[in-house]
Amino acid sequence: MTDLLGNIVIIGATGSGKTTLGRRLAARTNRHPIDLDDYHWQPGWIGISGDVFRNRLATALDAVPGNWVASGNYREVKPLLWGRAHTVVALDYSAQRVFWQLFCRTMRRSWTRELVCNGNRETFAKAFLNRDSILLWFFKSFWRRRRELAALLADPGDYAHLRILRFKHPKETEQWLMTL
């Protein structure tokens, strides 16, 4: 079954568990993990331009000797990534669940000073006192992600070649992962 999945993209709201699932799925199926945040964010939480992002990601994808699993929702690389993918895994969990996961993750990372990507760290000030707060981003983006997924399921358009797996609860995701 894992060979049928090919290259995989994991999508979902901020805090839904895309990166965690991506790492687990890559390890379980012997795929190369690609976390899009690592290609987008520079030190100091500085995002790169779309062209540079696309070039970095294209170079990385070209260098993978086999299948990969990518986690993230960046519009500027969607055609590049989805054009090479075979499967999309959509984490379509409830707003309450995702926000709670995001809140707990943000608190843990802020407390432990855990490195996130490219030397960046989440902080309490950035989470609660900043216009670029990841918690505020959740409220700005959650329902848009839901609409985008609904539109994709209704009409895949250019992405009709993709196998789309939609999970509405982490238990469903876990059950699927255990079948691989």
- Residue 128: the pLDDT is 85
Phi and psi at 124, nearest 5°, equal: -60, -40
pLDDT of res. 147:
94
End-to-end CA distance of the chain: 7
CATH tag, 2-94+142-178:
3.40.50.300
* Eight-state DSSP code of residue 115: B
pLDDT at 2: 56
What pLDDT was estimated at residue 178? Answer: 94
Q: Quick one: pLDDT at residue 144?
A: 94
Report domain extents, the chain: 2-94+142-178
Residue for token digits 């609860």? Answer: 169
pLDDT score of 125: 86
pLDDT per residue rounded down to tens, the chain (180 residues): 556 789 999 999 999 999 999 999 999 999 999 999 999 999 999 999 899 999 999 999 999 999 999 999 999 999 999 999 999 999 999 999 999 999 999 999 999 999 999 889 998 888 888 888 999 999 999 999 999 999 998 899 999 999 999 999 999 999 999 999
Place of tokens 């999508």: 11
Per the document, the length of the chain is 180
pTM of the complete model: 0.93
pLDDT for res 4: 74
From residue 27, alpha-carbon distances to 1, 22, 154 in Å are 15, 9, 32
